[in-house]
Amino acid sequence: MTTANTANTANTANTAITAITGIDTAELAVAPPPPGPRLPVAVQTLLFSTRRHTWLPKLRRRYGDVVRLRIYPERSVVEIADVELIRAIFSGSNTVFHAGEGNVILKPVMGEHSVLLTDEDQHLRARKLLMPAFHGAALRGYRDMVSELADAEAARWPTGRPFPTHARMQALTLEVILRVVFGVAEGPRLDELRMLLGRLVDVGPIDILGWHNPKLQRIGPWRRYARGQQRVDELLYAEIGERKLAGDLADRGDVLSRLLLVTVDGERLSDVELRDQLVTLLLAGHETTATALAWALHELARHPALLDRAIRAADGRTQEDDKYLEAVAKESMRLHPVISEVARKLTTDLVVGGYRIPAGHTVMPSIALVQGDPAHHADPEKFRPDRFLGEGPPTGTWLPFGGGVRRCLGAGFSLMEATVMLRSVLSRYRIAADRPRPEPAKARHITMVPARGARVVAWPRR
């Protein structure tokens, strides 16, 4: 490394440290490591994987807003629950905070070009090429397609008996990705992709073990998963190849067709990049939106007055009605965060909140701890969509889509999707809880889902 490069790296680290802590790098030598539990890695990994929604609040009460954990495979991660520190991390240099490296566990499935797995210039290039497919005008173009699919799904719901809404919302969001994002037309390819992708997104801890172990991929369930993933890739590349030859791309309304038309500095996404971004949109947008909607219905079914207000909004067609349905979705995401934190791997030693964190460690701004903090949200355990009307909660205290330059590109799509789907369900049905006691959350790979599938009873309104 040249002297000039060394100086630039030092300056970058200096700026990031000052932004976060307001102290000089000299304090790195004396700053202590973050506190945290001394349990074995295996025990901490198990607790984090299965009980993080109850374990992390206990750790915060004991150790404070900066807590070191030892979790496989990263070994050393630091949970951050202070809003100011999180804001500084999100706005920090992308050469210091590597989100792509923090998500490396997803690389075998999403691919090395995924916008979630790249950093610095490569990430910025990917965002520029993806952004046009998710701006305001594009979202308005997707709305009618989403509405048509949501109406068709709602019409199939059973009535007068309990059923799990989570499974139905998963089926719906998968259909939206196949038709609105991938743009696959009716036919054998759509049928096969529907079956294969349903398996691909149904990831459990056992499946994840095989992602990074080629030997496991030769046997049992890991072999079946690997073969399914290979077949999905074959079908996606076939779809991309055929779509590139279509003469009506500009008239098509799906995300893939829009991405094929986008250029930045004369460059387009390659076929491999398109494949990686499509799979990323599938994995990032399928489970999260479906789970948020299932939690929303779970809460509305237990709050008749709020359900009445949401039904009136579903029957209306004004901007205010849309805002209320969106507020229901946002409050669901706040009260029941689907993803509990985001990750940034450090490329240099930093002092964060008075503690020294070495390069190579991962800092994890905690979505769940911030959104459940009474200092930011009054009565945080209560479902109150009104908190998202008007000015809404304080900036930086609602984080389901992350923040900074890494904020989820599909945030607007997800909220539009949730609003449309709630309208389709509530304009057709009145829902009720199947039992008085609320469902607890349970861990499902990296997400938190309703333990019983958010079961409700639906009654036709007309």
Residues 6+ apart with CB under 8 A from 37: 44, 59, 69
Please state the domain extents for the chain.
3-460
Indicate the burial class of 63 (C-beta count within 10 angstroms; 0-12, 13-18, 19 or more): middle
Task: Give the per-residue pLDDT at 397.
Answer: 97
Reply yes or no: is the peptide bond before residue 394 cis, omega within 30 of 0: no
CATH class for the domain made up of 3-460? mainly alpha
User: Dihedral (C-alpha) 181, 183, 189, 194: value to the nearest 10 degrees?
Assistant: 30
Q: At residue 450, what are phi and psi to the nearest 5 degrees?
A: -65, 130
The two three-digit tokens of residue 195, written as one number: 């079956």
Task: Give the per-residue pLDDT at 16.
Answer: 44
Q: Find tokens 């790098």 and name the residue.
A: 25
Half-sphere CA count of 134, side-chain side, radius 13 A: 19
Q: At residue 305, what are phi and psi to the nearest 5 degrees?
A: -65, -40
Rounded Cα–Cα distance for residues 438 and 174 (Å): 26
The two three-digit tokens of residue 354, written as one number: 């008075």
How would you classify the pairing of strands 362-365 and 455-460?
A: unpaired
Q: Find tokens 């070191």 and name the residue.
A: 68
* pLDDT in 10s for each residue of the chain, 462 residues: 444 443 444 344 444 445 454 445 677 888 999 999 999 999 998 899 888 999 999 999 999 999 999 987 767 899 999 999 999 999 988 899 999 988 888 888 899 999 999 999 999 999 999 999 998 889 999 999 999 999 999 999 999 999 999 999 999 999 999 999 999 989 999 999 999 988 888 776 677 777 777 888 888 888 888 899 999 999 999 999 999 999 899 889 899 999 999 988 888 999 999 999 999 998 888 889 999 999 999 999 999 999 999 999 999 989 999 999 999 999 999 999 999 999 999 999 999 998 999 999 999 999 999 999 999 999 999 999 999 998 889 999 999 999 988 999 999 999 999 999 999 999 999 999 999 999 999 988 778 999 999 999 999 997
Rounded Cα–Cα distance for residues 168 and 172 (Å): 6
